[in-house]
Amino acid sequence: MSNVKSIRLAARVAKRPFRVSIEGNIGSGKSTCIQHFAKYKNVETHSEPIQEWRNVSGHNLLGLLYSDLKEWTFAFQHYVHLSRLKIQTSPPSNPNITVKIFERSVQNSRHCFVENAKKHKFLRDPQYQVLQNWFDYTEKNLDISLDLIVYLRTTPEVVWERMMNRGRKEESEVPLEYLQQVHESYENWFSSRNMGCEVLTINADRDIKSVIEDLERYTYKILGGNH
Ligand code: DGT
């Protein structure tokens, strides 16, 4: 049986849509990639809920995070975990949905940003352990499995320039060094042997037109054969 067929079968046996997480550094083009698949009637797409993160009962958690990473990473990762869990496990919006594509994943939070925060001391060990416990409990008790990861791979200098040019106010002071750390964290995560699903890597340093051409080329794989 081909890889795509066996994955599709696994999602069917699990009675849930084929799950795809679009991963990549800040400014790698994840939102555009997600929008590209919104045209398919059997695909449900979810961008990151940044507006929610900007207004948690009146608090801008994203702004607080970048104002002081050491002070706010713990609260931010908790909230991110909740946001991602809701998106990843919510039932499809209608019975025709066979594929769900979302921006980043619960696994991302655990293996990318939380690891990065631990390494660079934005999290203290007790805080890190609490987040680990949440993740372990979630993984054991809920089906958060992914069927495919699409990794929009970039170089930190390229995405830093994009981030500066787009001018999101919370990110205006984020140094290149932070994007280098996030990049390294992604690379470490994806070099692990125990990913649990295939990682499709796309060179996203290129212009968006070339990235979309690749998405078109790999549509059969990204939609798990559901199109
Ligand atoms: P895109 O479409 O690839 O250009 O993506 P962006 O840049 O619009 O959005 P994205 O997903 O990189 O994230 C929005 C902001 O939230 C960005 O400043 C990074 C931050 N962020 C997202 N998830 C996490 C997380 O788990 N931990 C931390 N510390 N920051 C995160």
> Given this model, what pLDDT does residue 195 score?
84
> Given this model, what pLDDT does residue 9 score?
52
> Given this model, what pLDDT does residue 6 score?
54
**What is the ipTM, given to two decimal places?**
0.91
Ligand 1 center from residue 213 Cα (angstroms):
24
Helix axes 125-141, 69-89, angle to 10 degrees: 0
Predicted confidence (pLDDT) per residue in 174-185, tens digit: 999 999 999 999
User: Is 157 an active-site residue?
Assistant: no
Pocket of ligand 1 (CB under 6 A): 24, 26-31, 48, 50, 62, 65, 76-77, 80, 103-104, 109, 113, 171
Instruction: Tell me how far apart the alpha carbons of residues 172 and 166 are, in angstroms, rounded to a whole number.
Output: 9
> Given this model, what pLDDT does residue 145 score?
96
What's the gap between Cα 7 and its chain centre?
A: 20
Tokens 């990843």 map to which residue? 88
Instruction: For the beta carbon of residue 146, count every other beta carbon within 10 angstroms.
Output: 21
What is the CATH number assigned to the segment(s) 3-222?
Answer: 3.40.50.300
Instruction: Tell me how far apart the alpha carbons of residues 60 and 81 are, in angstroms, rounded to a whole number.
Output: 17
Half-sphere exposure of 126 (CA within 13 A, CB side): 0
Ligand 1 nearest-atom number relative to CA 109: 26
Q: Which of 23, 44, 103, 171 is catalytic?
A: 103
Enumerate residue ranges in the chain where pLDDT < 70: 1-14, 227
Instruction: Tell me how far apart the alpha carbons of residues 99 and 227 are, in angstroms, rounded to a whole number.
Output: 9
Domain ranges of the chain: 3-222
- Work out whether the CA dihedral 170, 174, 76, 67 comes out positive or negative: negative
